[in-house]
């Protein structure tokens, strides 16, 4: 008998259900007898013992469904070792529920914060296998995360649809794409959607360079400009501030985000109409694209194989077009950033895309 627990933690994304299905079907199709317990709403379910025994039918018909049928929540790693409001030791509680159910392994699906806690539990002696979930594609140790391609598709569609109204009215449009710290989603959606300017957290921008690019397009007869702006994009001036100074500045700003501040700066500089579009959580919603369905299924299947082989303490990742296992300790606490000197940035610049630098 193999008993596993399964949970999805952090922000949701497409293909979580597909990944869990991949794990379950691989285990069910083995010669082993299997019990799968689903913890509800992420680590909260593991902490407070909220779970249900799942069966084969729970994993039927979920390949194409977005979200997570187990529910999710954010349980910040920075406070995971602090007692809750009632004095409960959260780490001890998670371990207690693990042993109470006599689990052989925890399967944890999540992003950066989730992997920090997963690594902590692994170091505490629990058997853990993880799967890389995030629309940001910023997890260390894997070339791709599931949810990313679906989010790229949605953000690209938004930029595509903005093109016609921008062209009709001769306006500058800023499409604010998700990504506080890392710009993979904005970079890929911006290039796929034909954005003229792409602003990333990793490449601080100069407003004057952005204005210059808009003027150049206008002088060539282009009546509109599309800017794909990551929500974490930052100006060169603000990049010089400490994190505390920048957060203080943002808190006092009259603008809801950097995109609206940039819109005002562009209007003040050249007097063109500027509109901001924020697709927001639509980028995390809806059904997974075919790529993510296949990719998440492959990752889930490999996670199931690791469990059958009793190989624990790994994240199932993707390197050089192959599914690989990556030690959790190598993943936790690291971000995979866009390299400003990478080939994709160089190629984008050759295409005439400005990054405002």
Q: Which residues are catalytic?
A: 136
* Spatial CA neighbour of 144 closest among 304, 329, 299: 299
Q: Are strands 225-230 and 197-199 parallel, antiparallel or unpaired?
A: parallel
Non-local (6+) Cβ contacts of 222 within 8 A are none
Q: Are 34 and 26 in contact (CB under 8 A)?
A: no
Pairing of strands 274-277, 128-132: unpaired
Q: Are 202 and 357 in contact (CB under 8 A)?
A: no
The answer to whether 227 and 210 have CB atoms below 8 angstroms apart is yes
CB 300 within 8 A of CB 21: yes
Helical (H) or strand (E) element with 239: helix 236-239
Token representation of residue 106: 């925890």
DSSP state of 256: S
For the beta carbon of residue 284, count every other beta carbon within 10 angstroms.
20
Measuring CA to CA, how many Å separate 118 from each of 5, 78, 161, 187, 208? 13, 13, 40, 29, 44
3-class DSSP state for residue 270? helix
């Amino acid at each position: 008998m193999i008993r596993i627990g399964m949970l999805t933690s952090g922000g949701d994304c497409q293909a979580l259900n597909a990944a869990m299905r991949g794990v379950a079907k691989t285990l069910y199709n083995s010669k082993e007898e299997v019990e799968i317990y689903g913890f509800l709403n992420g680590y909260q379910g593991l902490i407070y013992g909220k779970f249900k025994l799942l069966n084969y039918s729970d994993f039927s018909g979920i390949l194409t469904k977005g979200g997570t049928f187990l529910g999710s929540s954010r349980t910040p790693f920075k406070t995971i070792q602090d007692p809750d409001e009632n004095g409960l030791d959260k780490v001890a509680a998670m371990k207690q529920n693990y042993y109470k159910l006599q689990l052989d392994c925890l399967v944890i699906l999540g992003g950066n914060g989730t992997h920090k806690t997963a690594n902590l539990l692994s170091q505490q002696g629990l058997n853990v296998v993880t799967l890389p979930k995030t629309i940001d594609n910023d997890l260390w140790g894997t070339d791709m995360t599931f949810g990313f391609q679906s989010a790229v598709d949605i953000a690209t569609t938004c930029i595509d649809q903005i093109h016609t109204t921008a062209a009709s009215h001769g306006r500058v449009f800023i499409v604010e794409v998700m990504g506080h710290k890392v710009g993979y989603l904005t970079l890929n959606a911006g290039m796929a959607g034909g954005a003229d300017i792409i602003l990333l957290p990793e490449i601080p921008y100069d407003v004057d360079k952005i204005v210059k690019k808009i003027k150049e397009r206008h002088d060539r007869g282009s009546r509109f400009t599309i800017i794909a702006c990551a929500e974490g994009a930052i100006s060169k001036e603000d990049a010089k501030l400490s994190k505390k100074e920048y957060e203080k500045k943002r808190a006092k700003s009259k603008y809801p985000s950097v995109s609206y501040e940039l819109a005002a700066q562009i209007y003040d500089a050249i007097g063109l109409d500027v509109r901001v579009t924020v697709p927001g959580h639509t980028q995390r919603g809806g059904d997974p694209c075919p790529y993510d369905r296949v990719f998440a299924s492959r990752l889930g299947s490999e996670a199931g194989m690791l469990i059958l082989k009793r190989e624990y303490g790994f994240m199932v990742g993707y390197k050089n077009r192959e599914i690989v296992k990556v030690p959790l300790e190598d993943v936790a606490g690291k971000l995979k950033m866009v390299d400003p000197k990478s080939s994709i940035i160089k190629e984008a610049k050759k295409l005439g895309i400005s990054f405002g630098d």
